[in-house]
Structure 1
Amino acid sequence: MQQQVTLRELENFVAVAENSSMTHGAAAVGISQPAMSGSIQSLERTLGVSLLVRHRGHGVSLTPEGAQLIAEAREVLSRAADITSFMFDSGSDSVGRVLLGSLVTVAPIVVPAMVRDFTDRNPQIDVRLQTGTQDDLLAWLRSGEIHAAITYDIELGNDLDFLKLLDAEPHALLPTGHALATAETVSLEELADEPYVLLDLPISRQYLTSLFLAADVSLRPVARHTDLDLIRTLVGNGFGFSVVNLLPAAATAQDGSRLAYVKLRTSVKPVALGLVRRKGGTQSRRLEEFVQFALTYHVLPSRRPDAGNGSL
């Protein structure tokens, strides 16, 4: 593999050229004269040309190749300084962008209000959101496409760091006319003979299956859909019940039909919702600001007085 020129070698070369002396150039960058001499010789070997003419007792002067390199070296060093300054600013808490991912079913309930409150307090930080499935989020995190994601603690690898925001307890989603709509809690055994509408996303399907297994109730949905808004509307119109983990502020489907959210009695541990980010490496200060804000933020929206049975 061909040896590459380093920024340090270019910096040393410019210092010698500007001082017309190995000794004075070395002093300018804070290294010894022998170290400077070795650096220049290494640069000359890499480029395959002589850059300096050594004049015994009278310093050094540039060869034609050295004169050609000096302008290029100064431009490269200036550009490197610009990059360093830009990335320092991007990594600081005073300016920059946070690229945030969110599970598609979580984002509408949790993320917009959180981001608005954060950016109101930190207007110099731009938070950009993109939504996807769990597989999408994990792939984006590992590729560096996003800085962090808001999702559930399900199927995360050891290379990712999970910071819990809350326990997302399961609730039965019922039409308001249902006999159990005003109950404090309900079990899947009580709903076993009723039609079930399944939110059929991979991450949801796995957790919901565990709830039915724990209750010893067969999972036989009458309908499967990947659209949570459609699930709510179907339930609101009496097509069956469903199970959800996060509760919106209003108990109304998109078509205006009324819904009730009743806490589900189950032996299954609630799934945790939190922030996920890559382990290791240097985290930007703007990301750390967002993480610390999220950890103290009241994640779920306040429920409106007319939002269901008031048991939450």
Structure 2
Amino acid sequence: MAFNYSLKQLRYLVTTIECGSISEASRRLNISNPAISTAIKDLESRFNLQIFIRHKSNGLILTPEGSSFFDRAISLLRDAREFEQQVKGDSGEISGEIVLACYDPIASCYLPELLASFKERFPAVKIALHVVHQHKIADGLRSGAYDLALTYSAGLRDTHKYIALLPDLYPRAVLPADHRLASYDEISLAMIADEPLILLDIWPSNQYFLDQFKAAGLQPNIAYKVPSIELVTAFVGQGLGVSTLVTLPEQIQTPSGKKVVTLSLSDPLVASSTVVAWNRDKDLTRLTTEFVNHCKKEIKLPKHMRPMPAELVSY
């Protein structure tokens, strides 16, 4: 029996599973809900399996067979992208699709200029972008869901290869502009350990910041755990606590106009490395090699973010 199905149908299915709902997949793909539903039902019919259990309250839940089908669909889509990239690369054409993941906290700092300049060089290339957390990046690179990722090296596994894009960066203290320590040039973690801490609660950033206190023999006083850098600075600006961050916005001012200052930390600190990563079992194609080289050329350390002097570095 011949199975007549398309890569487009598989792409609709994979996007639906990644988004958690047909409606969200419809928005991402700019395709109607009925078109996605029809594609999924057709796949289930052709392969004689139930991919989802559909609950009104819980949405779509993968069956065990559906989970296995999902993994194979990701692998097939990855192979199809590589096939297209390699064939076009052999002919000297730089085109095709790159599925790119980016770690949420660094996306706004580097992505806009990077993607704009790459599109200017290679207008025929499509970048399918996923701004996600680190655990999804690690899993997605391993499974083939993503071709490349812009992220921190922390949390990557030995199944990944990566190239550092920036000098090592180190956390800085983030304080309200009217804080009693705000006029200092430099402070220690001990000076803020008893203050309410606003923790960026995204793995591995949360563990990274807590490890800095632990290495200094300190137990931070966590007041709030928030999921974005913007919320960290907003909470700090309102005087709800202090924080530590590596990636910093250039204009540190909250939407309500509150000002925030950042200070160097005098403690020996562990570096944070910004990298472009990929699955070590997959060779880069000409297209993905062009993108990696573009990242190396275009991603620069923002002027307001400086690496730490060597005498304060701990490894």
TM-score, scaled relative to structure 2: 0.65
Alignment of 1:32-181 (within 5 A): 88-89=87-88, 94-166=94-166, 167-181=168-182
Deviation at 1:183, TM superposition (A): 2.9
Counterpart code for 1:89: K
**Which residue is 1:262 aligned to?**
263
1: distance between equivalents of 2:207 and 2:93?
38
TM-score, scaled relative to structure 1: 0.65
1:113–1:182 CA distance, 2 compared to 1 (3 A) = farther
Counterpart code for 1:160: H
SS of corresponding position for 1:287:
helix
> Given that residues 248 and 301 in structure 1 are in contact (C-alpha distance below 8 angstroms), is that contact kept between their aligned partners in structure 2?
no
Q: Among the aligned pairs, what percent are the same residue?
A: 26
1:84–1:215 CA distance, 2 compared to 1 (3 A) = closer
1: distance between equivalents of 2:220 and 2:277?
30
SS of corresponding position for 1:216:
coil
> Given that residues 189 and 265 in structure 2 are in contact (C-alpha distance below 8 angstroms), is that contact kept between their aligned partners in structure 1?
yes
CA shift digits 1:8-33 (9 cap, x unpaired): xxxxxxxxxxxxxxxxxxxxxxxxxx
> Given that residues 187 and 265 in structure 2 are in contact (C-alpha distance below 8 angstroms), is that contact kept between their aligned partners in structure 1?
yes
Deviation at 1:118, TM superposition (A): 2.0
> Given that residues 110 and 301 in structure 1 are in contact (C-alpha distance below 8 angstroms), is that contact kept between their aligned partners in structure 2?
no
Deviation at 1:87, TM superposition (A): 5.1
SS of corresponding position for 1:106:
helix
Deviation at 1:85, TM superposition (A): 7.3
Alignment of 1:273-292 (within 5 A): 273-292=274-293
SS of corresponding position for 2:199:
strand
SS of corresponding position for 1:271:
coil
1: distance between equivalents of 2:163 and 2:93?
20
1:254–1:90 CA distance, 2 compared to 1 (3 A) = farther
**Which residue is 1:250 aligned to?**
251
2: distance between equivalents of 1:149 and 1:168?
19
SS of corresponding position for 1:290:
helix
User: What's the Cα RMSD here?
Assistant: 2.3
Runs of 4+ more than 6 Å apart: 83-86
**Which residue is 1:215 aligned to?**
216
Deviation at 1:299, TM superposition (A): 3.2
1: distance between equivalents of 2:223 and 2:193?
12
1:179–1:122 CA distance, 2 compared to 1 (3 A) = farther
Deviation at 1:269, TM superposition (A): 2.0
Structure 2: gaps of 5 or more residues = 1-81, 306-315
How many residue pairs match? The answer is 222
